[in-house]
Structure 1
Amino acid sequence: MSTARRRMTAVAAVALGGALLLTSCGGSDGGGSGDGRTLRLWHYEGPDSAMGVAWNAAIEEFEKTHPGVEVEFEEKGFEQIRKTAPMVLNSSDAPDLMEYNKGNATAGLLSRQGLLTDLTPEVTARGWDKKIGAGVRTTSQYDTDGVMGSGKWYGVPNYAEYTMVFYNKDLFAKHGITEPTTLGELTAAMDEFVDAGITPLANAGAEYMAQQYLYQLALSRADRSWVDAYQLYEGEADFHDAAWTYGAETFADWVEKGYFSERSTGTKSEDAGVSFIQGKAPILFSGSWWFGRFEAENQFDWGTFPWPDTDLTLGSGGNLWVVPKGAENKELAYDFIDITMSEKIQNLLGNEGGVPVAADPDAVTDPRAKELIADFNALAEKDGLAFYPDWPVPGFYDVLVSETQKLITGGADPDAFLDAIGEAYEKDAPKR
């Protein structure tokens, strides 16, 4: 094991969400003053997640093909990077390669601020654009206003993601409940759990999970033009229309019925995931990023199904590899991205429970993983990826967290919730 590898393993063992920091040799477009002997990379995937496993393998492959390159580490988390990225990337502490959230409010904002490298030349020269389908590439390209869907490539996703219902088959069987296939059957199942003294839905009001439940409820009454108006500004977003009203009112009703715990207002996503892993919550609605961890840690029979009675659900290309404008060593950053896009790493990602963008379908052999990928492909083929609710404008994530918490506690009614998020959206949405 190389010195570089030993250093990475030591840090990875410190924290599940630890980030890897790597460095690379000089590139163009700003930066380029590095020594070519260190690759600095930040990512926030846990080592047991599908992405964490695949990217650790990519690091090993990188070391084989780049002898003498030193690997360095720092611990990073999703929230840490989300909150500090603009400041860090505008300083001398910027890494060479970083995993970053996609969408107008995050990668789009950084591209508009001139903090990210235009990757378009590398994307075309290395053929990444040929491997990434239209639905996934939407979040890779941003125009001069920082709006996704067109313009230059500022990020590259090497996986995709989408949300689904995870459910504890053993708990369902114990209470004589069959797998729901309609929203009516899902709510009937939740009623039965409530009657048995069990809160059916794992939830996290302090982070992204609660707002994603509400957005999915709204999506069940929406169509593609509604999504494009809200996310891409291709039309007027009406926050008191039938879809948003249904989402907010149904979410509040579900709190009242006991489907969510009122205590979940202060719960983080990790807590919600652990409650499912421990068999306490029979149902969790969240993303494919949990799949590999559930595969490794669940000690019960479990399964997944798409949110019923809708053609739209939350999903997109995965988080992006971005190269900071001021990165000192860019060429090896591009080389690392290329390795993560290779068939070898893509196949591993698929078998570990991720949703690869360029795997050989025949090489993914795990039955549950094959089902996961098949469900994503079906969603993508019907143009069902509806992105995430916090994407449209900067700062919207925090607004949605705080306003959704008020719905959970009863501190605001659905109309007040819709007024608040509509006002925040209109304040910062670009005029197009």
Structure 2
Amino acid sequence: MTTFRTALLAAGAAAALVLTGCSGSPAESGTDSTTLTFWHYEDDTSAMAQSWQAAIADFEKENPGVTVKVEKQTFEQLQKNAKIVLSGDTVPDVMEYNKGNGTAGQLASQGLLADLTDSASQLGWDQKLPGSLQTTARYDENGLMGSGNWYGVPTYGEFVQIYLNNDMFAENGIAVPTDQASLISAMDAFVAKGITPIATAGAEYPLAQLWSELVLSRTDRSFVDAYQLFKGDVSWTDGPLAEGTKELADWVAKGYVAKSASGLKAEDMAVGFISGKYPMMVSGSWWFGRLQSDVKFDMGQVLFPGSGYSSGSSGNLLVVPTNAKNKDLAIKFINDALGENAQNVAAVKGGLPVAGDASKITDPQTKQLTENWQTLVGRDGLSFYMDWPVAGFYDKLVSFCQTVMNGSKDPMAALAELGEFYESGKKDIVGG
């Protein structure tokens, strides 16, 4: 992430062209020229809400007489009711909405979201967002993520990394891992001392994320695109999926994770790590605020050693409903949400902006989080989440990882069953 003052000046010049090409000015089209309605479901204390508040201040300053009206929703409300609400005439001008085939993609394919492709090109959004972030913003005519037109814009991101209890490493004379070999050595050393190295939870997503990191440590972009975007076939009998599965089983056998974690939930994992029971926790950036507040030890953060990829993606999207009355103002607001001021507020608050400046951050932990994010995005290393491709896959993946952990079935037989579900779901989407 770098600052982009120059780019914004150029974008400002282009904005007039883009906005003229929309539905005309509010006054000309007879719509409300004084209020931009914005729906979102972020807590007011969150980094993103504070970032968007900064964007609101910039927007209102740049557009005298226009006021942004924020209407808070809940994630569940929009997930359940968006299709019905956006089909009517009383809709927001801009709103936060979840990315993915079954959410933003579905609304886009049904004609309920405005096409933002021209704005993305003329305002430079396609230059600010790397390819892996653009993936969640673009959908084809069937609502499949990753190609086609822009129907939303992410302003922040999320990713999986390893959180470290540096005090436990130091107290036990064990070096913090920097590559796969030193990670294995460190885990062996902890096991020898009777310490389970990694906090995890099998009843929810954490164990599946650990499996994902093991798979992704053996992948390249072509595998990610084949698995997530159906740009080719993936093998369930050899290659990254099989190798990652075998390694997870091996890690369980060696005591790197506890078999008893099979029935734990994500909160149990976090509490165990925060209490100082485990030296490492593999999970998402969304835990950062909680850990920053609650841990009493020296905390470290590293990307998964020896891997070029990690589970992660853009955050939710800012979208413009097709029936919005002020599309031109909505586009200007989105541009301000990607602006230097709003993005740097997100950076300082630990919000992982898509285009912020890490040099503005003074807190060392927040700076490390953001630098890890920059490194991952800079090498195009976001691989999305392994449960994304087909409907219902999350529950199947969690169950599969529990099976590998508790040894109730041969790991490769369990993987074959997981593959059958994936391939059936893929066929439902793309045919064949």
1:84 and 2:80 matched: yes
Residues 312 and 385 of structure 1 are in contact (CA less than 8 Å); yes or no, is this contact kept in structure 2?
Answer: yes
Query: Aligned residue for 1:168?
Result: 165
Pick closer, same or farther for the CA change 1:210–1:106 going to 2, 3 Å: farther
Letter in 2 for 1:400: L
1:148 and 2:145 matched: yes
Letter in 2 for 1:412: K
Within 2, Cα distance between the matches of 1:214 and 1:315? Answer: 14
Query: Aligned residue for 1:421?
Result: 418
Query: Aligned residue for 1:177?
Result: 174
Query: Aligned residue for 2:14?
Result: none
1:39 aligns with one of 37, 40, 56: 37
Segments of structure 1 that go 5 or more residues without pairing to the other structure are 1-26
Question: What's the CA shift for 1:421?
Answer: 2.1
Question: What's the CA shift for 1:336?
Answer: 4.1
Query: Aligned residue for 1:318?
Result: 315
Question: What's the CA shift for 1:196?
Answer: 4.1
Query: Aligned residue for 1:382?
Result: 379
Query: Aligned residue for 1:117?
Result: 114
Letter in 1 for 2:315: G
Question: What's the CA shift for 1:103?
Answer: 3.6
1:290 and 2:287 matched: yes
Letter in 1 for 2:39: L
Within 1, Cα distance between the matches of 2:39 and 2:225? Answer: 33
Pick closer, same or farther for the CA change 1:255–1:94 going to 2, 3 Å: farther
Within 2, Cα distance between the matches of 1:147 and 1:52? Answer: 28
Question: What's the CA shift for 1:167?
Answer: 0.5
Residues 104 and 394 of structure 1 are in contact (CA less than 8 Å); yes or no, is this contact kept in structure 2?
Answer: no
Pick closer, same or farther for the CA change 1:156–1:166 going to 2, 3 Å: same
2:198 aligns with one of 196, 201, 220: 201
Give runs of aligned pairs for residues 10-409 of structure 1, distance below 5 A.
Answer: 37=35, 39-44=37-42, 49-58=46-55, 69-74=68-73, 76=74, 80=76, 84=80, 97-124=94-121, 126-325=123-322, 333-409=330-406
Question: What's the CA shift for 1:151?
Answer: 1.0
Query: Aligned residue for 2:4?
Result: none
Within 2, Cα distance between the matches of 1:401 and 1:89? Answer: 33
Within 2, Cα distance between the matches of 1:123 and 1:101? Answer: 19
User: For 1:210-240, what per-residue CA distance to the aligned partner results, in whole angstroms no more than 9, with x for missing partners?
Assistant: 2221111111222222222112222211112
Pick closer, same or farther for the CA change 1:68–1:95 going to 2, 3 Å: closer
Within 2, Cα distance between the matches of 1:267 and 1:97? Answer: 39
SS in 1 for 2:344: helix
Pick closer, same or farther for the CA change 1:276–1:208 going to 2, 3 Å: same
Pick closer, same or farther for the CA change 1:331–1:296 going to 2, 3 Å: farther
Residues 87 and 112 of structure 2 are in contact (CA less than 8 Å); yes or no, is this contact kept in structure 1?
Answer: no
Within 2, Cα distance between the matches of 1:421 and 1:82? Answer: 30
Within 2, Cα distance between the matches of 1:95 and 1:412? Answer: 50
Pick closer, same or farther for the CA change 1:411–1:100 going to 2, 3 Å: farther
How many residues get paired?
400
User: For 1:87-142, what per-residue CA distance to the aligned partner results, in whole angstroms no more than 9, with x for missing partners?
Assistant: 66677697654434434454334433444332224434544334223332122111
Question: What's the CA shift for 1:208?
Answer: 2.7
Query: Aligned residue for 1:12?
Result: none
SS in 1 for 2:424: helix
Letter in 2 for 1:162: F
Q: What value does the CA root-mean-square deviation take over the aligned residues?
A: 3.4
Within 1, Cα distance between the matches of 2:194 and 2:94? Answer: 48
- Percent identical: 46
Of structures 1 and 2, the larger Rg is shown by 2
Pick closer, same or farther for the CA change 1:116–1:414 going to 2, 3 Å: farther
User: For 1:62-90, what per-residue CA distance to the aligned partner results, in whole angstroms no more than 9, with x for missing partners?
Assistant: 6776766543334x35xx47963666667
User: For 1:131-170, what per-residue CA distance to the aligned partner results, in whole angstroms no more than 9, with x for missing partners?
Assistant: 2233321221111233333211112111233322110111
Within 2, Cα distance between the matches of 1:267 and 1:82? Answer: 29
SS in 2 for 1:99: strand
TM-score by length of 1: 0.79
Segments of structure 2 that go 5 or more residues without pairing to the other structure are 1-21, 24-29
